[in-house]
Structure 1
Amino acid sequence: MKQSTAIKIATGVAAAAIGGLFLYSRATRPPVINPRVPQPARPVDLARYAGKWFELARHENRFQKGLDAVTAEYTLEKDGKVRIVNSGLRAGDKERDVAEGLAIVADEATRAKLKVSFFGPLYTGDYWVLDHGDDYDWSIVGEPSGRYLWVLSRDPHPAPELAQALRERVEALGYDRWALRITRQD
């Protein structure tokens, strides 16, 4: 086989593999639950946002499928990046699934929009703090496609009044709260 033919075949195989991965990633994304994602409601003080959060609910996705006891910990780095450690438990597992990533601020004016990467610099995702409590006791996080949503709290078991207020705020932001999966924090 000539070298140019081998190169053409290898290039074709690589293009097909990349195309297949792209189509797989598109096909396994969750459905849009909010076609009109709002801009973040207010600026974010990342120093106050840092720390440990407990996930109360999320729109189920393939990378968290079946996880409960989910937490997210944010640490400000000296270079301005935000270190992220997400973890959770699957039923029957004794060890937590852990995903570590880095985020950079994508909107300096509000600091409410971040670009997050858990897989190195080649793939980044949007992370928008759509709203948060005045005391940074809760947060609602989404992204511009309307496919993902997380409801976070500093308390794994917030007061019923706060839980109800968060469900109402999710709806006010244009999301169907009934599409959310409640995260068990036992």
Structure 2
Amino acid sequence: MKWILILGLVAFAGVLLLACRKSGGERPNQVLAEYVDLERFMGTWYVHGYTPTPLDKNAYNATETYELEEDGKIQTTYRFQKGGFDGKWKTMKPRGWVHDTVSNAEWRMRFFGVFTAPYYILYVSPDYKETVIGHPDKDLAWVMTRSAQLGDRDYERLLLELARRDYDLSKVERVSHSEL
């Protein structure tokens, strides 16, 4: 069992290294949100769709919470239950910062204190109840809302934000949420 965890960590590290190498400091290769009000964006988001990595495969009840710190950094808490509604809770705490301070839509996230990867806010609704997050390689994406419930029609509408930017929607998996 221990070797599976090690293998998963190595695979995840490889994905992050590749992401960092391929998407260094160049300008975004896709349309991002025009402007993100950081104060309104902070708080808890329910993940309804995502492209799984070895570390968060089979996620249930996934949430992403952002907290703006005094130094301008963004403390992130990504929580989910592994494998089902009765699965063990897993938590990751990457730390981020705004890379493009004009739009606030391009961030960088640091994982495990070592790996840094771009984080694109592609869309945020005017009422800050829906958001779609992406990555320069278009291989990682998240569809999130402020509510644990999201109807199929609204989910499909948010997936269109990814489709408009040429993401492969077959890699995006729906996340189930229970009544917590």
TM-score scaled by length of structure 1: 0.76
- Following superposition, the deviation at residue 39 of structure 1 comes to 3.0
1:38 lines up with 2:30 in the alignment: yes
**1:163 and 2:155 correspond:** yes
SS in 2 for 1:44: coil
* 1:25 matched to 2:14: yes
**Corresponding residue to 2:95 among 85, 102, 107:** 102
C-alpha displacement of 1:163: 1.9
Q: How does 1:22-101 map to 2 (within 5 A)?
A: 25=14, 37-91=29-83, 94-101=87-94
- Name stretches of at least 5 consecutive residues in structure 1 with no aligned partner: 1-20, 31-35
Map of 2:108 onto structure 1 = 115
Aligned residues: 159
Q: Report the CA distance between 1:172 and its aligned residue.
A: 1.7
Identical pairs, percent: 23
Alpha carbons of structure 1 residues 82 and 164: separation in structure 2 relative to 1, 3 Å: same
Q: Distance in 1 between matches of 2:102 and 2:91?
A: 31
1:62-116 residue CA offsets vs partner (Å, 9 max, x unmatched):
1211221110000110111111000100126554100112111111111111111
Deviations 1:124-183 (A, max 9, x none): 111110111111111110111211011111111124442231122221222232321111
Residues 129, 145 of structure 2: 8 Å contact kept: yes
Kindly tell me: are residues 148 and 27 of structure 1, through their superposed partners in 2, closer, same or farther at Cα, counting changes over 3 Å? closer
Quick check: 2:16–2:117 contact (8 Å CA) kept in 1? no
Q: 4+ residue runs of structure 1 moved beyond 4 angstroms?
A: 26-30
* Separation of aligned partners in 2, 1:91 and 1:176: 24
In 2 relative to 1, CA 76–27 (structure 1 residues): closer, same or farther, beyond 3 Å?
Answer: closer
TM-score normalised to structure 2 length: 0.78
Instruction: Give the Cα separation in 2 of the matches to 1:90 and 1:100.
Output: 16
- Structure of higher CA gyration radius: 1
* SS state at 1:145 partner: coil
